[in-house]
Amino acid sequence: MRFFSGKSAQTRWFKAILAALCATLLACSDNNSQKHLAQVKAKPDPYTIRFVTINSPSTYFIDSQNNYAGLEYDLAKRFVEFLGPPYKLEFIVVDSFDKVFPTLLRGDADIAAADISITPARKRQVLFGPAFNQVQAMVVYNRDKNNEPNNAEALFEKRIVLPKSTSFVERMRELQSKSPALTWKETDKLSSEQLIEAVARNEIDFTVADNHLVAIMQYNYPQLDAGMMLGQADKIAWALNKLHGEERLTQMQAFFKKIEKDGTLRNLLDRYHGHTKRLKPVDVTAFLSKSHTLLPKYVRLFKSAQEITDIDWRLLAALSYQESHWDNYSTSPTNVRGLMMLTEQTSNMMNVTDRLDPKQSVMAGAKFLLWMKDRIPSRIPEPDRTFMTLAAYNNGVGHLEDARIIAQKLGLNPDSWADVKRGYQLLNDPAYYVNARHGYCSCGAPVIYTELVRSYYQIMQKYFPAYDPGVDPYKIAETKIPWLLAKAS
C-alpha cells in the first residue's frame, strides 16, 4: 500500500511538511515570548533594596522574641528608612559565606552585608562602602584540650578548619607563606559559629574567627579562648557590584555619615557588642553549672512573674542571678536580702512579709522592675529602655535621670543606653555631680551591673526557651549542657 501517489500525493506531502514547519516556528516563537516575559518578570524592582547576608549572631538572626535582629539587619533596616518611600527592604539569606559574593556579582542582590572584611583581594572584585566596624582575626582554641597557640609552629599538624572564601583563609595563607608546613581544611558546609562550636566539642583543634564572634561564643562555651592574632585588624563594610553600584554608594556614604554623627551607629555597636567582655570564663562556667543545679527550683516562680508583668522570665532569672546567684538566703552587709535582694523599703512598697520567701521575693522583684520601667519615658526604644530599667533597679531612677541629662548636655542622645553610660561615668566627677540633682554617684556600678545582667540573659536565651503561658504553662526547661556534665562527672 502506497501512502502518496502522483501530483495529488506530492501536494498532500508538501502541505504536511509546511504545516509541520509552521507549528515548529510557532512553538519557537511561543518559547521565545515566554523567555522574554520571564526576563521581564525577573527584572528587579528598582525601589527594592536586596541585601544578601548569612545567619550569625553578628549579622542576621531571629531572636528569642521571634523578631528579626542582628547588626547587619538593623543597619539595613535603617538604611531603607533613610532612603524613605517608596524604597523597601528585602533580605536574601544564603547558607554559607562562600555564596555571598557570587550572589552579589550575578546581580541577584544589590548589597552584600555579611560582616565582610575589606581586603585587597576583595577590593578588586567589589566596591566597598564606608567602614563601620573593626574586627581582629583570632585563632580559636579549647583551653581544656590544647595549649594556647601563640605562633605558627603551634598550629602544625593540628586539625584546623576554616570557612571557605573568608578573609580568615587569606590571613592563613599570609602566615603559610612564612611557615610552609602549615596546613588546614576549608569548608562551605559550616559557618564560623558552627566551627567554633566544633572547637568547643573537641571535634577540631583550631579555627579562625573575628574577636567579636569569639566573645559572644565564649558566653555559651567558656572553655573557648582566643590565641594568636592573624594580621592587622580588619575594617567591616558593605559591598556593592562594581557594574552598577556607584549611585547606591553615594546613598550609602550619606547614610553612614548621618548615623555616625547622630550616635545611631555607636548605639547599635553597643547593643550587639557592648556587653560581651564583662564575664570571665570562670563566671560563665559557674553560671551554667548553677543553671543546672539551682535554677530548676525557681523556674516556675520566674514564669509566674512573667505572667503578671510580661517581663521575659529569663531576664528576671538573669537579674536574680546577678543579685544573689540564686541563693535564697543571700544577705548583704546593708541588709538587702533574698533571691532578688530586696531592700526593706522595696519590700514594704511591694507588701512583702518575708524577703527570704522565694515566691514573694521573685514576684516583688519583677513588679518593682516593671514599676521602674514605668518611670522611664516610653519614647525610649527597646532594648535601650530595658537596659536603663536595669540600671535604675540597681541604683535608682534619680541617678539615671542625672546621667541622661549629662548625656544631653554633652550633645549625646539621652535615649540611647550607649550614650547614657557615658553620663553615668561622669557622675563621680565634681565638674558634673555638683550640678546634678541627685549628687555624687559611684556610677560605674550600675553600668557594670546592667552589662552583666545582659550577659547572663544572653546565655539564658541560648539554653532556655521563651515561655508562652498559653502554649506551655509551667513547663520547666531542661538544661542540656553535655560538655559541662561530662566535665563534672
Give the DSSP per-residue string, 287-354: HHHHHHHTGGGTHHHHHHHHHHH---HHHHHHHHHHHHTT-TT-B-TT--BTTTTB-HHHHHHTT-S-
pLDDT attached to residue 361: 96
Q: Give me the helix-helix angle, 417-425 and 384-395, nearest 10°.
A: 30
Q: Pick from 95, 103, 100: which is nearest to 116 by CA?
A: 100
Q: Which fold has domain 281-488?
A: Lysozyme (1.10.530)
Contact between 228 and 138 (Cβ < 8 Å) = yes
Q: Give the residues of the chain that fall short of pLDDT 50.
A: 1-11, 13-14, 17-18, 21, 25-41, 473-489
Residues 6+ apart with CB under 8 A from 165: 97, 98, 101, 188
pLDDT attached to residue 178: 95
48-133+237-273 belongs to which homologous superfamily? Periplasmic binding protein-like II (3.40.190.10)
Instruction: Say what the pTM is.
Output: 0.74
Contact between 364 and 342 (Cβ < 8 Å) = yes
In the residue annotation, 323 being an active-site residue is answered as yes
Query: Side-chain half-sphere of 473: how many Cα atoms within 13 Å?
Result: 2
User: One of 193, 323, 401, 451 is an active-site residue; which one?
Assistant: 323
Q: Which CATH number fits domain 137-232: 3.40.50.300, 1.10.540.10, 3.30.830.10, 3.40.190.10?
A: 3.40.190.10
- How many angstroms from the chain centroid is the CA of residue 397? 29
Domains 137-232 and 281-488 share a fold: no
Q: Where are the domains of the chain?
A: 1-40, 48-133+237-273, 137-232, 281-488
Contact between 488 and 289 (Cβ < 8 Å) = yes
pLDDT attached to residue 219: 85
pLDDT attached to residue 476: 41
pLDDT attached to residue 195: 96
pLDDT attached to residue 11: 47
Neighbours of 313 (CB within 10 A): 25
